Structure 1
C-alpha cells in the first residue's frame, strides 16, 4: 500500500512540475507576430505610433505590406512568408525599428526568438541589414542581399536568436533596420518566441509522459 501511495505521490509531484513548465512555455508569446492584424491593407506607420500590437521606435516610417497583386505595378506581389502581411522596416525617411513588450516570460529562462527575413525586392540588388535588440542589447545582426522585381519570390529565410528573460515584468523585443533605401528595407514576418527546455525540464517532461502512460495502463 505504501509503495502504491509513494508512487502516486511522485506522480502527482512530477505532473505538477510538468504542468508548471508547460504553462510557463505557453504563456510566452508574441502577439500578432505575423502582422496579420488589423488587416486593413497597406499602411505606413509613423515614428512613435502603435499599430497591430507593434510600436514604431523611429526615426522613420515603417510599412505594413499587404501581399496582393499590385494594380500599378503588374506582376509585383510582395509575397509574405506566411499569411498576407509583412513589415518593411524602411518606409519614408530613415531606417526604423519596431518593438513589442512581451509578458509571461520566466525570469532567467532561455528563449528562442524566431522570425523570417527578406528584403524589399523592388529595385536593384541591395544589402539589407537588421538587428535584433533584446532589452536594449543587440543580440543578433542579420544581412541579406536581394533585388529585382520578382515579388512572387521574396527569398524569405528562417532566422533565430537565443535570449534570456530579464527580471522585469516585461521584456522588450525590437527589430531595427540599419540599412536600406527610402521605402525599401529589410522585410520581417512570422515572429515568434519559445522557451528552450533545460536538460532537467526536458527530462521531467519525458518522465511525466512516461508516468502518464503507465498510469493509464
Structure 2
C-alpha cells in the first residue's frame, strides 16, 4: 500500500511538472525592458494615447529614458514626465491560472520628493502600491529593487496590466524589466493569501 501511494504521488507530481514546466519555474507571458524604440537622445516623453514597446499611455505622460543606470538593457521608464502618467498592456489569461508579475523599481533622484510612489492595477483593480526613497541614490547608483505580486483572473480571458505614477512632481518612480509568468495556483505562489483575485 505504501508503494502504491508513493507511486500515485509521483505520478501526480510528474503531471504537475508537465503542466507547469517545473515547480520552480513558470511559463513566460510577457517580458518588457522598455528597449523599443531605441533612443538616440537622453529621454523621450509619451503622452496619453501614444504607444511604445507594446504599451499604451493611458493617462498623463511618461518618460522613456537612457539617463541613468538601468536594471537591465539601456532604457527604463519614469512614470512621471511633466505630470504623473500611466501605461497599460493587455495579454491573454486562462481560467484557474495564477500569474506572477515581477518588475524592477527605482526613482528619479533629480528632483523632489525624496519618496517616489506608484501603483499597479489589473483590470482596474489595485494589486500593488509601491514607494522608493531616492535618498543617497544617483543616476550612477539607482539602487534598483525587485517587486513581485500575483493575481488570478476569475472571469475574463484577458488582463490589462497598468503601472501608474502617483508622485505629484515631475520626477517619479522608475520601472524596468517587467515580467509576467503563469503557473498553477497550487504551485505559485506558496501562499494563497498572496494572490489578488480579479473579477
Task: Please classify the TM superposition score into its range, dividing by the shorter chain length.
Answer: 0.7 to 0.9
Contact 1:46 1:62 in 2 (8 A): yes
CA RMSD of aligned residues (A): 2.8
CA 1:30–1:180 in structure 2 vs 1: closer, same or farther (change >3 Å)? farther
Contact 1:134 1:173 in 2 (8 A): yes
If the length of structure 2 is used for normalisation, what is the TM-score? Answer: 0.76
Q: List alignment gaps of at least 5 residues for structure 2.
A: 1-6, 189-199
* Residue equivalent to 2:36: 37
* Residue equivalent to 1:187: 174
What is the aligned counterpart of 1:97 among 82, 86, 95?
Answer: 86
Partner Cα distance (1:149, 1:163) in 2? 32
* Residue equivalent to 2:47: 46
**Deviating 4+ runs (over 3 angstroms):** 13-23, 196-201
Partner Cα distance (1:135, 1:108) in 2? 17
Contact 2:96 2:184 in 1 (8 A): no
* Residue equivalent to 2:162: 174
CA 1:111–1:144 in structure 2 vs 1: closer, same or farther (change >3 Å)? same
* Residue equivalent to 1:74: none
Query: Does residue 99 of structure 2 align to residue 111 of structure 1?
Result: yes
* Residue equivalent to 1:158: 146
Partner Cα distance (2:100, 2:13) in 1? 25
Deviation at 1:196, TM superposition (A): 3.9
Contact 2:98 2:182 in 1 (8 A): yes
Aligned residue pairs: how many? 176
Partner Cα distance (2:184, 2:54) in 1? 27
* Structure with a larger share of its residues in helix: 1
If the length of structure 1 is used for normalisation, what is the TM-score? Answer: 0.70
- The secondary structure found in structure 2 opposite 1:151 is coil
Contact 2:121 2:161 in 1 (8 A): yes
Point out the structure with max Rg over C-alpha.
Answer: 1
